[in-house]
Amino acid sequence: MKWSILYRSLALWTTYHASQVSRSRFLARCDELCRVGVRFSVGVVGVKESFEALAALRDELPSEVYLWVNAYKGEASYYSTREREFLQGIDPLFEFNTRFYESAGRPCYTGSAVVSVDDEGAIRRCHFVSQQLGNIHSVGFEGELVDRPCPNQSCHCHIGYVHLQDLPLAEVFGSG
């Protein structure tokens, strides 16, 4: 009973990298999350060599699981119009991800309502902010979870900019 309450209150941003794990193994973990009632989304990096794997992943994930595409920004004009349309077909919000967002000093949900936790339990406000706030294995870490402005000049990844309070994305994703 205790675990089912935890699972219902947990929401995960997961990331699939075809070079690091097989699609079947990743999908088995996704099935497990669905089975126990954990809300989650799946992210992928939108490099051209991954397009086939991306399409297969979208076909095999449950339709209610949001698949977000983190746009590759290493080259100007990296995507053709046709490629952008393909990616938008997978992720309707793809165009939000094709730019950098000035974030320094802007209000952000990270660090209070949203945190990043690594495999050691270290809590950071964001995957892109190195300062550690505490550890989930320590008593009282919750006291460090407070609102603070973004310390970075810009946000360039979906798992970062999606939490900027003045973008309309919180309305899209709601509580998870």
The Cα–Cα gap between 54 and 60 comes to: 10
Please check whether residues 3 and 90 belong to one and the same domain.
Answer: yes
Domain membership of residue 12 as a residue range: 1-99
Please check whether residues 80 and 144 belong to one and the same domain.
Answer: no
* Total domain count, the chain: 2
Among 35, 70, 99, which residue terminates a domain?
A: 99
Quick one: pLDDT at residue 175?
56
Quick one: pLDDT at residue 75?
87
Residue 58 has pLDDT above 90, yes or no: yes
Please check whether residues 88 and 148 belong to one and the same domain.
Answer: no
Please check whether residues 148 and 67 belong to one and the same domain.
Answer: no
Residue 11 has pLDDT above 90, yes or no: no
Quick one: pLDDT at residue 162?
83
Which residue bears the tokens 């086939």? 52
Each residue's pLDDT tens digit, 104-144: 999 998 988 889 898 899 999 998 899 999 998 999 888 98
- Residue 4's pLDDT band, with cuts at 50, 70 and 90, is low
Please check whether residues 1 and 83 belong to one and the same domain.
Answer: yes
Residue 67 tokens read as 């698949």
**Under 8 Å CB-to-CB from 150, ≥6 apart: which residues?**
103, 104, 105, 106, 107, 108, 110, 126, 164
Among 99, 127, 157, which residue terminates a domain?
A: 99
Quick one: pLDDT at residue 156?
82
Each residue's pLDDT tens digit, 79-101: 999 999 999 999 998 998 898 88
Alpha helices in 49-123 (DSSP H): 51-60, 81-90
Burial status of residue 107 (CB atoms within 10 A of its CB: 0-12, 13-18, 19 or more): middle
Residue 171 has pLDDT above 90, yes or no: no
pLDDT, mean of residues 56-76: 93
Q: Among 16-20, 34-38, 158-162, name the one with the lowest average pLDDT.
A: 158-162
| Residue 162 Cα distances to 28, 35, 110, 119, 120, angstroms | 27, 26, 10, 23, 25
Single pTM value for the model: 0.74
Quick one: pLDDT at residue 3?
53
Residue 2 has pLDDT above 70, yes or no: no
Residue 1 has pLDDT above 50, yes or no: no
- Please calculate the CA angle 160-46-91 and round it to the nearest 5 degrees: 75
Averaged confidence pLDDT in the chain = 88
Quick one: pLDDT at residue 173?
67
Among 44, 69, 99, which residue terminates a domain?
A: 99
Please check whether residues 89 and 107 belong to one and the same domain.
Answer: no
Please check whether residues 15 and 67 belong to one and the same domain.
Answer: yes
